[in-house]
Amino acid sequence: MKTYIVGNWKLNFTVGEASIYLHKLLKAMPNYRDVGVVVAPSTLAIQPLSLQTDRHKIKLAAQNAFYRDYGAYTGEISFSQLRGVVDYCIVGHSERRYVLGEDDKMIAKKVEAAIRNKITPILCIGETESERAFGETADVIRDQLLGGLSEVGDDDLSKVIVAYEPVWAISSTKSSRIASPDEISEVVKLIRRILADTYGIESAEEVPVLFGGSVKPSNAGAYLTVPGVNGLLVGGASLILSEFIDIIEVAKRVRS
């Protein structure tokens, strides 16, 4: 299985800035066969970047899309419109769950619509700080994982990527906490156990599980060597080209 390094640019970069970044990234980056590099620009930048990128080196992800293909849904963009333009779409990011009010039911429809349109959903799940403090992590992970996958048939499980992103570890500042490899390991084991119990061991093993939450070049190696982790979802550090390249280099070293 490939190691995935996914840069989530969130609401950052104008189209021009995104284009310059991608140009520099493509220039700096050799083609590592075992490392799949993906960037998720703002919706506005997706189309121009798709004309600019070399898909052998870098693939594009959307940060969100709507589950209906067309219709009276003002402001939305559909997976069918993104079909052939992006290879991946982040679905159920905690910022969409908690800032924009998405629930597991909507997220499940988005996962289904992505697969139907040949786009790999990156299903994000993770507990909040208070859920962890109250011992609810396992329940939250189970609910979000099985809830998000509720419209995925057994044959389609291999078309999904899962990202474990504890909400308390996202965008951490110097004073706040980041996740330890042991904490990640425990939850990733749980994710794999739930997938195995629900879909069978073989299918469960085919699902890439990524980790995200304040990933930096300095901790990427430790996170990538957690058993069962197949890649990283990188927010803040992916906005700094040199840091993102360093994380890709770490992934390459870990793989070789």
Member of 119, 141, 235, 243 binding ligand PGA (CB under 6 A): 235
Exactly one of 121, 147, 212, 217 binds ligand PGA (CB under 6 A); that residue is: 212
Of 102, 131, 165, 243, which is the active-site residue? 165
18 or 204: CB nearest ligand PGA: 18
Q: Is 214 in the site for ligand PGA (CB under 6 A)?
A: yes
Size of the site for ligand PGA (CB under 6 A): 13
Residue nearest to ligand PGA (CB): 235
Nearer Cβ to ligand PGA (59/151)? 59
Active site includes 165?
yes
Label residue 174 left, alpha or beta by phi (over 0 means left) and psi (-120 to 50 means alpha). Answer: alpha
Applying CB under 6 A, does 123 fall inside the site for ligand PGA? no
Q: Which is nearer to ligand PGA, 5 or 157 (CB)?
A: 5
Site for ligand PGA in 166-195 (CB under 6 A): 170-171
By the rule CB under 6 A, 233 interacts with ligand PGA: yes
**Contact window for ligand PGA (CB under 6 A) among 102-110, 197-205, 210-218, 222-230:** 210-218
Q: Which residues bind ligand PGA (CB under 6 A)?
A: 8, 165, 170-171, 212-215, 233-237
Q: Which residues are catalytic?
A: 93, 165
